Amino acid sequence: MNIGEKIKRLRIQNDLTQEELANRAELSKGFISQVERNLTSPSIATLVDILECLGTNLKEFFDDTFEEKIVFGKDDVFVKTNNELGHEVIWLIPNAQKNNMEPIILVLNEGGSSEVDDPHEGEEFGYVLIGSIYIYLGNQRFRVKKGESFYFKPSMTHYIENAGKTRAKVLWIATPPTF
């Protein structure tokens, strides 16, 4: 195991500079740089401090049994139908709430709509695969047709609705996860 490389990867995943990590761990930037380049090794106590600042611990850090899943298939999909609103939510990635973004496919029956979502932090992106939809942002309404996409910051109440007489299908990605 390359300890320095793994610490660097965790630091970058946590969106920290070497200086920020050093300040949090009460170490010098130079020491963090040397650790990441495997020019020096931290003591166990120092490694515990660094890992705590990176949101992990010794057990998780040295556990090589976890392999990040990259490709997801039909067995990973979870579907929830809402007959009242006339839609079906298809979660493409299991446990996506733990990630920074959550991709779903939303299938809207004729007259169907998504849940009304309150303002929140983050961003929303969608691509209409089939049909056409309306996006409601506060008091505004936008039409999006097959092959078009939408992007907005959800700073007001928002939802989408099927704008046509046939089913609509939308690839919708939210950050942070909200579905």
pLDDT per position in the chain (179 positions), as tens? 789 999 999 999 888 999 999 999 999 999 999 999 999 999 999 999 999 999 999 998 988 665 677 898 988 899 999 999 999 999 998 876 677 889 999 999 999 999 999 999 999 999 999 999 999 999 999 999 999 999 999 999 999 999 999 999 999 999 888 77
Omega before residue 176 within 30° of 0, cis: yes
Based on the fold, state whether residues 83 and 159 are members of the same structural domain: yes
Query: Are residues 142 and 135 in contact, defined by beta-carbon separation less than 8 angstroms?
Result: yes
- Residue carrying the six token digits 């929830």: 80
| The last residue of a domain, from among 13, 33, 62 | 62
Q: Residue 68: inside a domain, yes or no? A: no
**pLDDT given for residue 126 in this prediction:** 97
The domain total for the chain is 2
CATH at 50: 1.10.260.40
Domain that holds residue 47: 3-62
Cα angle for residues 160, 163, 165 (degrees, 5° grid): 135
- The total of other beta-carbon atoms located within 10 Å of residue 54's CB is 21
Based on the fold, state whether residues 85 and 162 are members of the same structural domain: yes
Q: Residue 67: inside a domain, yes or no? A: no
Q: What is the pTM of this model?
A: 0.64
Based on the fold, state whether residues 57 and 98 are members of the same structural domain: no
Question: Which strands make up the sheet holding 158-162, listed edge to edge?
Answer: 140-145, 132-137, 158-162
Based on the fold, state whether residues 82 and 52 are members of the same structural domain: no
Based on the fold, state whether residues 44 and 92 are members of the same structural domain: no
Q: What is the Cα–Cα distance from 128 to 142, expressed in whole angstroms?
A: 13
**pLDDT given for residue 67 in this prediction:** 65
Query: Are residues 35 and 3 in contact, defined by beta-carbon separation less than 8 angstroms?
Result: yes
